[in-house]
C-alpha cells in the first residue's frame, strides 16, 4: 500500500484562483484531500466514508487548532474497533429507524438492525464505511457513491454525491445530491464531532449552544421517537437563547436519562425552506464560533455520551466522556414510520438536493 496525500488548495471563487499544490496518495483507491483557504483554514477529507478528518481553524488570537475529533490516519478509521462515525457521511438513512422496518407504497422493507433492535446510520456497511469515488472540483472535492438496490435492505439504486467546498469566509459547504431508480428513503448528514477548544480537550459541556428550535421529537429508551412533538419551554431542551451545555445535561428529566444526556432531535423554527441558521456553538476560552446553516428541517444534537476514554485520537489524547459533540442536520429520526412528518421518500425522477454549511469565526 502506498501512502500519500492529495492536496487541493482552495481559494476564493475568483477566476484564475484555482491552484493545485497536489500531493497524491493512494491507499489503493483511498485518498485524503487537503483544502486550504486564504485565511489559512485547513480542512481534510477522505473518500473513505466521505469523512472530514480534520478542521484547523484559528482562535481569537490567531492560534490554530484542529476542532474535529478523529484518527491520525485513514487506517484509523478503517480499523477502529468501535466506530463512532467520526466526521463521516452517515446514511442511506442517518439516525434511527424503528426495528429497521418501513413501508413505501404498501411494500415493507427490512433493514439491518445494528443498534439494539433498531437500525442506525445506514446499517452494518453504511455510507461511512464505503469508499466513494473522488473528483477534485473548484475549491473542493466531489465524492460520489452508488448504493445498490438491496444494499443494507434499502430499495433502489441510489446515485449519491456530496461536494465539499471551503470558502474564504471559513465555511465548509456540504452539498448533497441524489437520484434513485426505485422509491426509497434517504436522510444523509455529516457526523463530525466538534470540540472548539481543540480535539482532545476534556469536555464540550463548557461550550455555549444555541439551537433555533422550539420543538423536539421525544424518544423512548431505544432513542426512537414516540411520535409526540414536545415544546422546549421550561425543559433542559430549551436552547433558544445561548446556554452552557453542562447546565442541564444531567438534569432530572426522563428524556435526559434516555440520552443519557443530549442525544435528541430538534425541529427547527424555520421561516421557509432555504438556507437558515440552525445552531450556533461558542467556546468562550478560545473564542471560536461554529454556525450551522442548513436547508434541512431538523437537527440532532448528540453530546458525545458514548465516548468513554477508550478511543485515542489523532494527537494521542483519549477522547473522554462528552469531549465531542455532533450537530447533525437532517429529517427527524424514524420519519419513514411517521408519515405526517416531512417526507424522506425519494422517487424516480425526483432529485434529492440539500446543503448544509459549517461556518467558523471568532468573537
Ligand atoms: C448519533 C446517535 C447517537 C450515537 C452516535 C454514534 O448521533 O444519535 O445515539 O449512536 O450517533 O455513536
91-123 pLDDT per residue, tens: 999 999 999 999 999 999 999 999 999 999 999
Mean residue pLDDT of the chain comes to 92
Please say if 328 is a catalytic residue: yes
H-type alpha helices, 198-260: 254-258
Is the predicted pLDDT of residue 23 greater than 70, yes or no? no
Of the ranges 4-8, 128-132, 138-142, which one carries the lowest mean pLDDT score? 4-8
How many angstroms separate the alpha carbon of residue 223 from the centre of ligand 1? 9
How many angstroms separate the alpha carbon of residue 128 from the centre of ligand 1? 13
Whole-number pLDDT of residue 314: 95
Whole-number pLDDT of residue 73: 86
What percentage of the chain exceeds 70 in pLDDT? 92
Pocket test for ligand 1, best of 49, 70, 85, 95 (most atoms within 8 A of CB): 85
- Rounded to the nearest 5 degrees, what angle is found at the Cα of 306, between the Cα atoms of 302 and 311? 120
Tell me the mean pLDDT in the region 226-252: 98
Catalytic residue chosen out of the listed positions 32, 119, 171, 191: 191
Q: Verify cis geometry, omega within 30 degrees of 0, for the bond prior to 312.
A: no
Tell me the mean pLDDT in the region 223-234: 98
Mention every residue, 6+ apart, whose C-beta is less than 8 A from residue 338.
225, 227, 332
Residue 20 binned pLDDT confidence (cut-offs 50, 70, 90): very low
Whole-number pLDDT of residue 27: 55
Is the predicted pLDDT of residue 349 greater than 90, yes or no? yes
Of the ranges 27-31, 53-57, 220-224, 294-298, which one carries the lowest mean pLDDT score? 27-31
Please say if 191 is a catalytic residue: yes
Whole-number pLDDT of residue 294: 98
Residue 81 binned pLDDT confidence (cut-offs 50, 70, 90): low
How many angstroms separate the alpha carbon of residue 175 from the centre of ligand 1? 22
**d(Cα 67, Cα 215) in Å, to the nearest integer?**
29
Q: Which residues line ligand 1 (CB under 6 A)?
A: 84-85, 120, 223, 263, 300, 302, 306, 326, 328
Work out whether strand 158-166 and strand 140-147 pair parallel, antiparallel, or are unpaired: antiparallel
- Whether the Cβ atoms of residue 23 and residue 7 lie closer than 8 Å to each other: yes
Residue 83 binned pLDDT confidence (cut-offs 50, 70, 90): confident
Residue 105: other Cβ atoms inside 10 A:
7
Mention every residue, 6+ apart, whose C-beta is less than 8 A from residue 73.
3
Reference 229, options 245, 241, 243, 218; nearest CA is 218
How many angstroms separate the alpha carbon of residue 94 from the centre of ligand 1? 9
Q: Is the dihedral of CA 242, 245, 246, 247 positive or negative?
A: positive
Is the predicted pLDDT of residue 329 greater than 90, yes or no? yes
The strand pairing partners of 292, in sequence order, are: 279, 358
Pocket test for ligand 1, best of 80, 113, 306, 325 (most atoms within 8 A of CB): 306
**d(Cα 270, Cα 349) in Å, to the nearest integer?**
27
For ligand 1, atom 12, the nearest C-alpha belongs to: 84
Whole-number pLDDT of residue 77: 87
Mention every residue, 6+ apart, whose C-beta is less than 8 A from residue 201.
195, 323
Is the predicted pLDDT of residue 135 greater than 60, yes or no? yes
Tell me the mean pLDDT in the region 250-263: 97
279-317 pLDDT per residue, tens: 999 999 999 999 999 999 999 999 999 999 999 999 999
Whole-number pLDDT of residue 82: 67
Cell 452508488 belongs to residue: 146
Question: What is the three-class DSSP state of 223?
Answer: coil
Torsion of CA 250, 319, 120, 156, to 10 degrees: 140
Cell numbers given for 106: 404498501
- Whether the Cβ atoms of residue 28 and residue 14 lie closer than 8 Å to each other: no
139-186 pLDDT per residue, tens: 999 999 999 999 999 999 999 999 999 999 999 999 999 999 999 999
How many angstroms separate the alpha carbon of residue 159 from the centre of ligand 1? 25
**d(Cα 283, Cα 195) in Å, to the nearest integer?**
8
Tell me the mean pLDDT in the region 262-283: 98
For the question of whether the overall pTM of this predicted structure is more than 0.85, the answer is: yes
Reference 123, options 160, 67, 83; nearest CA is 83
Is the predicted pLDDT of residue 5 greater than 60, yes or no? no
Q: Which of ligand 1's atoms lies nearest the C-alpha of 263?
A: 8
Amino acid at each position: 500500500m502506498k501512502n500519500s496525500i492529495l492536496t487541493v488548495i482552495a481559494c476564493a471563487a475568483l477566476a484564475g484562483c484555482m491552484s493545485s499544490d497536489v500531493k497524491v496518495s493512494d491507499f489503493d483507491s483511498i485518498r485524503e484531500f487537503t483544502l486550504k483557504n486564504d485565511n489559512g483554514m485547513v480542512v481534510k477529507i477522505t473518500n473513505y466514508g466521505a469523512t472530514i478528518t480534520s478542521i484547523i481553524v484559528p482562535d481569537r488570537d490567531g492560534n490554530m487548532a484542529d476542532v474535529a475529533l478523529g484518527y491520525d490516519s485513514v487506517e484509523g478509521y478503517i480499523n477502529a474497533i468501535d466506530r463512532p462515525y467520526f466526521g463521516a457521511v452517515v446514511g442511506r438513512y442517518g439516525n434511527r429507524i424503528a426495528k429497521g422496518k418501513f413501508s413505501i407504497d404498501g411494500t415493507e422493507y427490512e433493514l439491518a438492525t445494528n443498534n439494539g433492535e433498531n437500525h442506525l446510520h445506514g446499517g452494518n456497511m453504511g455510507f461511512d464505511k464505503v469508499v466513494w469515488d473522488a473528483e477534485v472540483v473548484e475549491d473542493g472535492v466531489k465524492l460520489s457513491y452508488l448504493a445498490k438496490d438491496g444494499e443494507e435492505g434499502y430499495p433502489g439504486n441510489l446515485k449519491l454525491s456530496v461536494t465539499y467546498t471551503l470558502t474564504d469566509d471559513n465555511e465548509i459547504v456540504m452539498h448533497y445530491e441524489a437520484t434513485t431508480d426505485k422509491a426509497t428513503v434517504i436522510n444523509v448528514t455529516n457526523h463530525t464531532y466538534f470540540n472548539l477548544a481543540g480535539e482532545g480537550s476534556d469536555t464540550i459541556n463548557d461550550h455555549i449552544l444555541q439551537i433555533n428550535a422550539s420543538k423536539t421529537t421525544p424518544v423512548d429508551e431505544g432513542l426512537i421517537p414516540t411520535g409526540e412533538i414536545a415544546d422546549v419551554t421550561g425543559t433542559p431542551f430549551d436552547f433558544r437563547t445561548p446556554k452552557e451545555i453542562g447546565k442541564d445535561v444531567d438534569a432530572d428529566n426522563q428524556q435526559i436519562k434516555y440520552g443519557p444526556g443530549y442525544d435528541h432531535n430538534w425541529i427547527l423554527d424555520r421561516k421557509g425552506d432555504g438556507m437558515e441558521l440552525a445552531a450556533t456553538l461558542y467556546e468562550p476560552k478560545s473564542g471560536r464560533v461554529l454556525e450551522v446553516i442548513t436547508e434541512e428541517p431538523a437537527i440532532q444534537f448528540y453530546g458525545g455520551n458514548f465516548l468513554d476514554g477508550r478511543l485515542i485520537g489523532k494527537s494521542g489524547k483519549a477522547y473522554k466522556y462528552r469531549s465531542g459533540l455532533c450537530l447533525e442536520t437532517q429529517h427527524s429520526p424514524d420519519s419513514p414510520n411517521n408519515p405526517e412528518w416531512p417526507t424522506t421518500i425519494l422517487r424516480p425522477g425526483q432529485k434529492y438536493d440539500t446543503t448544509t454549511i459549517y461556518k467558523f469565526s471568532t468573537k
